[in-house]
């Protein structure tokens, strides 16, 4: 039974939160804190997740990861190596490659959204960007 006063709130959505899940709400917010001295953000995490899903949809075509990472590099303040490593972390967390040091945000995205198709993943990114725009 949901208590009506327990909600995760944003300016766009109000999502009822079951009492047994309340303890996870704070953890999810904390796991997406990125260093203020870094160019890294949830948006960049999601963009790398979309790159991973593009690779997955194309059966990890040789050379495609580098091409997609270079394309993202040209549109961001992140280096190719940083982007490439993050995409590699998604591959690792998804079981495509061996273990690596994966962030909590990467683990969360794979656990919650890893079964999404490429179009669904792009929609996830688009929805996030729309929420960001609505909140600025």
- Report the number of distinct structural domains present in the chain: 2
Domain identity same for 79 and 116: yes
- Asked whether the beta carbons of 28 and 108 are under 8 A apart, the reply is yes
Domain identity same for 15 and 65: no
Q: How open is the CA angle 122-54-121, to the nearest 5 degrees? A: 25
- pTM of the prediction? 0.76
Domain identity same for 14 and 54: no
The CA dihedral of 13, 22, 17, 7, to the nearest 10 degrees, is -50
What pLDDT is stored for residue 3 in this prediction?
Answer: 40
4 falls within a domain: yes
Q: Using one digit for the tens of pLDDT, what is the confidence trace for 70-106?
A: 999 999 999 999 999 999 999 999 999 988 888 888 9
| Owning domain of residue 58 | 42-134
102 falls within a domain: yes
Q: Using one digit for the tens of pLDDT, what is the confidence trace for 26-58?
A: 444 444 677 778 888 899 999 999 999 999 999
Domain identity same for 124 and 92: yes
């Amino acid at each position: 039974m949901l208590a009506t006063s327990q909600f995760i709130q944003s300016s766009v959505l109000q999502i009822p939160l079951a009492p047994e899940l309340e303890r996870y709400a704070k953890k999810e917010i904390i796991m997406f804190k990125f260093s203020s001295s870094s160019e890294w953000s949830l948006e960049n995490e999601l963009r790398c997740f979309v790159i991973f899903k593009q690779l997955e949809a194309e059966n990890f075509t040789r050379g495609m990861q580098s091409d997609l990472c270079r394309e993202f590099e040209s549109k961001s303040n992140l280096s190719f190596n940083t982007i490439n490593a993050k995409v590699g972390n998604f591959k690792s967390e998804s079981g495509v490659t061996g273990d690596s040091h994966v962030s909590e945000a990467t683990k969360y995205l794979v656990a919650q959204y890893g079964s999404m198709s490429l179009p669904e993943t792009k929609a996830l990114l688009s929805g996030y960007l729309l929420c960001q725009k609505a909140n600025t």
